[in-house]
Chain A
C-alpha cells in the first residue's frame, strides 16, 4: 500500500519532468541556433539581417525594398552608417523594436529581413 502510493506520484513527476526537459532543451537549442548563426553571419560576411539580430548596437548599412518604403525608412533615420540599437526582437512573424536617432521605431520582421546591419566599429569608421 505504502509503495504504490509512493511510486504513483513519482511516475507523474517524471512524466512532467520529461515534458519540461524536452521543451527546455528545445528552447535552448532554438536560442543557441539563432545566436550562433547571427554571430557567425556577422563574423564571416561582415553583415547580417536585422530580422535575425539579437540585442546590442550595430550599424545600419542598407535597406532593399521598394521606393516608397525605402524613402520612409530614410526619413525615419535609416541613413547608412547610423547607429541602430536592437531593443526587442519577437522573432519570425513578430516585430522588432529598434532605437535609431533617439527614438523607438517598430518594424515588422518582414521588413527587417531586407535590412542589413554590421558590427559597430570601435573607431567609428564607416
Chain B
C-alpha cells in the first residue's frame, strides 16, 4: 500500500441507478460542481481522503450507452477516453440488471480498470430475488461489490479495494463476443487502424466495434487518420457484407449481441428466493399512473409542495425578518443621522433583508421538489401531464421547466428547456416559463396576500394564483403554437425509473446548490439594484421646509426624487389598471429582479413613515394604506405575474433563443402588453362589480 497516492475514480452508470447517492455518500459535502467545456452538462467532482490516499471522484452523467448521440454520452465517452481515470466504478441497479449491464459491455471495451457496484441490492431482495456477487464477478471478470447507496452498505469495501490495490489491471473485464462473422470483419479492419499513430493509441476493441457500429465519434477519429479513405472504404465494405449476411443493420446485430451478453449474465446471477414479491413501484404506480387517479395524485403532490413550502417555513421566515429588522435598528442606532445611515439602513440592509428573509422559504421549496425528483415521481408527472400539455402545443417534457420555474427560478427553468430536442417546443416553453410564479415573485405574492387576506384564506388565494399562472402560461403556449410557432410538439421516449426513497444528504445537497444560486443572484444584482433604487428615491434632495412636519417632508421627498418623477410621468398609463405612481415605480424597479418590487415598496413606505425606526411590517402598512384595496392588490399581482420577466431571465432567454432580436422583442413587448390588457380587464370588471 503506497501512501499519498492520488487516484482518480470515475462513476459511470445509467440514469437513476443511484449513482449520485453513492457519489454523495463517498465524498460528503466535499464537492465541486462545474461545467464541461462547451456543453451544458454538469461536471461533478468530489474529494475524499481515505487511508492516506487522495481520491478524486468524478460523477459522469448518467447514460444508457457510450455512443455519441447525446451530449451526456459524448461527455462521458470523452472523459473515459481522454482523461483516462485510474479506475471506473460502474454502478449497476440490481433490480434492473440487464439494461444496466448493457453499458458494462461498452465500458469493458475501453481497457480501463473496472469494478461493479451492484447497487440497490435491498430492492432486489424486496422483490424476492437474490444476486450472487461471486458468480457475477466470475462472469464479468471484474470485482463486484453489493452496495446499498442510501444506507452506506458496501461502500467501505469499494474504498478498501481502491486503496489496497496498486495495479488494477489484474482483472480484465470480459468483453462481449460478437460472433465469428463480426470478428472476421474486425480482423480485416485491424491492420488498417494499426497503421495510424493516433488510432493506435485508442483502445483497439472499442474502436473496431464502434467503427462497424457507425458511431459518429469513432468515424470522426477515423476520418482524421492518414489512411482514412482506406479505413472508411473497408468499413463500408464490412457493413454491406454484414448487412447482406444477417439481413439486418449492423447496429441492430451489435446491440442484440450486447443485450444477449447482459441477459445471459443477469439470468445466471439472479435467483428467485422467495415467492413473496412486494414491488413497491407497481403499487405506487397503480395509483400515480392510474387513468383516473393520475391527475388528482399529481395535484395532490403539487399541493404537498406548496404546503411544505409555506406552512413549515413560516417560523423560520419570521425569524429571518425579525433578525434583519433588529439589525437595521441596531446599525441605525450606531450611525449618526445622514445620507450614510440612510444608505446602509434603508438601501443595503433593507434590500438584502427583503430578499434574504425569503431564503428559508426557497430552501424548503427546493427540498420538497428535490424529494419528488429524486424519488422518481417527476418523470411520471411528465407522463401524466403529457396529454394535457400536448393539447396546448407543449411537450410532456415542457412540464419540467415550468415546474422548476414554479416557486423556483425562471433562469434555470429556461436553461432546463435544453432537454427539449425540437427548437419549436423549446421556444414556446421558454416563452411561457417566466409566466409561472417563480421564487422571486413569491415575496410579492406573500406580501400582498398577507396584507389583504386573513390567515384562513391565504393558502387558498395563493393556490388560485398558481392556477391562474398555469392558465396564463398554457393559454399563451396555445396562442403561440397557433400563431407564431405553428407546428406539432416533438415526440419523446423516456424511462420511468423505479421509485426509491431519496437520502436526506442528497436532498440537502441539491437544496443547498439551488438555493445558493438564488443567494448568489441576490448578492450581486439585487443588492446593487436596491442601492440604485434607494438612490433614485433619495436624490435629488428636496429642500427641507421647516413649516412641514417630518412626514410631510418625506412625502415631498418621494415626489421630488428621480423615481417619483418617473412614477408621476408614467402614472397616466397605470391609472386605468388601478395603480398609483408608487406601484408603477415599484414595477419598473421589478425589471431588475422581481424581489425588488418588495424592497422598493419597503423603501417607499419606510421613507414615507414618520419614524423609520418604528418597525411595523410592510404588509401592515399596505393593509392600512387607503390607496390599496384587495382588488387593487390582486390586479397588482396579476400585472406582476405577467409583465416583463426579470433582467436575468431576459438575458438567458436572449442567449438561449439563439441571440435573436425578434424573439426578444416579442418577449418584452408581448408580456408587458399582455399584462396591461389582462390587468385592465380584471380591474374594470372588478370596479363595476363594486369590489
Contacts and interface: CB of A to CB of B under 8 A. Distances in A.
A104 B285 CA distance: 11
B98 A106 contact: no
A108 B491 contact: yes
Interface string B224-240: 00000000000000000
B32 interface: no
Nearest to B282: A104
A94 B385 CA distance: 10
A102 B96 contact: yes
Interface string A3-35: 000000000000000000000000000000000
Nearest to B249: A70
Nearest to B497: A103
A69 B493 contact: yes
B496 A79 contact: no
A2 interface: no
A64 B98 CA distance: 25
Nearest to B290: A88
Contacts of B391: 93
Measured as residues with beta carbon below 8 angstroms from the partner, the interface class of chain B is 35 or more
Nearest to A95: B386
Contact of A80 (B252, B291, B390, B488): B252
B683 interface: no
Contacts of B291: 88
B548 interface: no
A123 B492 CA distance: 33
Interface in A77-102: 77, 79-81, 88, 90, 93-95, 97, 101-102
A107 interface: yes
Contact of B496 (A93, A101, A106, A110): A106
B303 interface: no
- Select the residue from B252, B289, B497 with max chain A CB neighbours within 10 A: B252
Nearest to A71: B69
Interface in B235-278: 248, 251-252, 255-256, 259
A105 B98 contact: no
A94 B496 contact: no
Contact of B383 (A79, A103, A106): A106
Nearest to A102: B96
B387 A94 contact: yes
Contacts of A73: 493
A17 to B, nearest CB: 24
A111 interface: yes
B167 interface: no
A88 B289 CA distance: 9
B252 A76 contact: no
Interface in A21-55: none
A103 B281 CA distance: 11
Nearest to A87: B289
B99 A102 contact: yes
B83 interface: no
A82 B130 CA distance: 24
B206 interface: no
Given A79-B256, A106-B494, A107-B492, A95 B387 contact: yes
A95 B383 contact: yes
A73 B64 CA distance: 11
B434 to A, nearest CB: 26
A76 B383 contact: no
Contacts of B67: 71, 75
Interface of B: 64-65, 67, 69-70, 96, 98-99, 102, 248, 251-252, 255-256, 259, 285, 289, 291, 379, 382-383, 386-387, 390-391, 396, 488, 491-498
22 contacts: A71-B67, A72-B70, A73-B493, A75-B102, A76-B493, A76-B495, A77-B99, A81-B256, A88-B289, A88-B291, A93-B390, A95-B387, A101-B259, A102-B98, A103-B496, A104-B285, A105-B493, A105-B495, A106-B496, A108-B491, A108-B492, A111-B491
Given A90-B386, A103-B498, 10 more contacts: A71-B69, A93-B387, A103-B495, A103-B497, A106-B383, A106-B495, A106-B496, A107-B491, A108-B491, A111-B491
* Nearest 8 interchain pairs by C-beta: A108-B491, A104-B496, A110-B491, A94-B387, A111-B491, A75-B64, A75-B65, A74-B255
